[in-house]
Amino acid sequence: MYLTPGSLVVFRATDSPWLEVLPAFYLDEASLDPSLTEQGWRLAQYSNTKHRILVRPTGENRWLEAWGTRVAGLEAREVCTSVTHNADGFTLVATLGGLISGRQPYTLLDNIQPPE
């Protein structure tokens, strides 16, 4: 399952700021590891700080009374960066970081795409 680019992600129904899911190529360019994208991970960027995290669908969904619709649960992780040395010097590479715990991010169920 994949998140549709441009989808909004929140941690609470009335939460501000929200995050916007970026197209897959943002992660492909940042990570040099296509397996993250293939596993359903996408970068999501906070609307107010431009800080990015990694999100992917968990396959769970529930009714959200505040929105009057079903929402999809997401797993959220920090983005870690590491340095990879190459012939031109070095490259900063995004990797899967620690689990963001204590609050469950979610998005509208319509924002989830089936596997390609």
Half-sphere exposure of 2 (CA within 13 A, CB side): 16
pLDDT score, position 15: 61
Q: How far apart are CA 31 and CA 44, in angstroms?
A: 14
- The pair of three-digit structure tokens given for residue 107, joined into one six-digit string: 């998005």
Per-residue pLDDT of the chain (116 residues; tens, 9 = 90+): 889 999 989 887 776 678 899 998 888 888 877 888 889 999 999 888 888 999 999 999 999 888 899 999 999 999 988 887 778 777 777 888 899 988 888 999 899 888 76
- The pair of three-digit structure tokens given for residue 17, joined into one six-digit string: 């700021």
